[in-house]
Amino acid sequence: MGHSRIGTLPATRRWKEVVQLIADGADVSKVAEATLKAAELAFAWVQEDVGFREAANLMVQIAQTTKDQNPTAALAKLGIEISENTSVAEVAMAVGEALDQRVNAQRGRSDFGEMAGKALVSAVIGQIKDKLPTLFEPTRDDIAGALRSAGQEKGFGEFASHFFSRVTGDSLDYFLSKTLATKLGEGQRFATNNQMAEFMGAMRTLCKETAVISKEYAGGWLSKHRFEEGGNISRETIGGFAWYGMQKMRAELAMRAIEHEH
């Protein structure tokens, strides 16, 4: 396996409906729901995608390190090497490199896997950026302290919901970007680039709001399986968790589209 591209969506009836919804000025919730329906076949293989599964696995393992007596050493065992005096950018790079090593070892690079990797890095940044000292460079211990909440029920819910939101948003952008560009210009849905950017911004906001549904699910899942599996949650269990989290996002987006009609 080399790099696997998701590709563009075929000119199916469902995709034509997406294009028509955009042209007609439909709300972002309707466009998002229709896009996910149209992309169903393209996403059929994602459950087994190496990058997606490895990103989810590393996310849970990072949360698990917060319970270790030496969390920075535990992060190093995961391949996340952090220097004594560090920065948010260095941590983001370290997480990305650790994930790349895992994916490259399985020769399983894909477009969707890269989206999942970016989502993981974004989720880690979201966990630490507002919890670090502002007057001095953060240390390894500061990073470990900032990540501590990710190992708690509420904190992991926020960590995972950020991941699911970003993956979903990037996926929608992946499929919609070329189509939106064809609806740009005088007499089209988007008269300017700014209007198109506002639409995609609203799509991102919708994904963030939708991801709230996964907070309680994710936090409860971590507590349950940490107890049941003695703190060593299996890859199979994590894979099921990640895929179900994506399904919950899709179901909630569909529900929001229906609600918008009434």
Tens digits of per-residue pLDDT, 169-181? Answer: 998 998 888 788 8
Average pLDDT for the chain: 89
Selection from 174, 50, 37 nearest residue 101 by Cα: 50
Query: Residue 81 above 70 pLDDT?
Result: yes
Q: Is the pLDDT of residue 252 over 50?
A: yes
Residue 44's pLDDT band (cuts 50, 70, 90): low
Q: What crossing angle do the helices spanning 50-65 and 153-181 adopt, rounded to 10°?
A: 150
Closest to 245 measured CA to CA, from 56, 111, 119, 64:
56
- pLDDT of 135 strictly over 70: yes
Residue corresponding to tokens 């209007």: 195
Give which of 143, 152, 140, 105 is closest to 124, Cα–Cα: 143
CA angle 45, 206, 249 (to 5 degrees): 35
Mean pLDDT of 105-134: 93
Q: Is the pLDDT of residue 107 over 90?
A: no
Closest alpha carbon to 258 in 29, 40, 38, 23: 29
Q: Could you tell me where the DSSP H helices lie in the chain?
A: 13-23, 28-38, 50-65, 71-77, 88-105, 111-128, 140-147, 153-181, 193-210, 212-228, 235-261
- Residues 6 or more apart whose CB falls under 8 angstroms from that of 43 comprise 36, 112, 171
**Cross-strand pairs, 4:** 110
> Please, is 5 exposed, middle or buried when counting C-beta atoms within 10 Å of its C-beta (0-12, 13-18, 19+)?
exposed
Percent of the chain's residues with pLDDT above 70: 92
- Kindly tell me if the per-residue pLDDT of 56 is higher than 90: yes
The pTM is what? 0.90
**Is the pLDDT confidence value at 151 over 70?**
yes
Average pLDDT on 130-143 reads 89
Q: Using pLDDT thresholds of 50, 70 and 90, give the confidence band for residue 40.
A: confident
- Please report which confidence band the pLDDT of residue 36 belongs to, taking 50, 70 and 90 as the band edges: confident
- Residue 85's region, left for phi above 0, alpha for psi from -120 to 50, else beta, is beta
**Structure tokens belonging to residue 252:** 């909630």
Q: How far apart are CA 255 and CA 8, in angstroms?
A: 26
Q: What span, in angstroms and rounded, lies between the C-alpha atoms of 107 and 173?
A: 25
More confident residue, 220 or 258: 220
Given a cut of 70, is residue 11 above it in pLDDT? Answer: no
What pLDDT shows up at residue 28? 92
Which among 105, 89, 12 is positioned nearest to 50, based on CA atoms?
105
Instruction: Say yes or no to pLDDT of 1 above 50.
Output: no
Residue 179 is predicted with a pLDDT of 86
Residue 231 predicted with pLDDT over 70: yes
* Distance between CA atoms of residues 164 and 244, nearest Å: 10
pLDDT at 93: 97
Q: With a cut of 60, say whether residue 241 has pLDDT above it.
A: yes
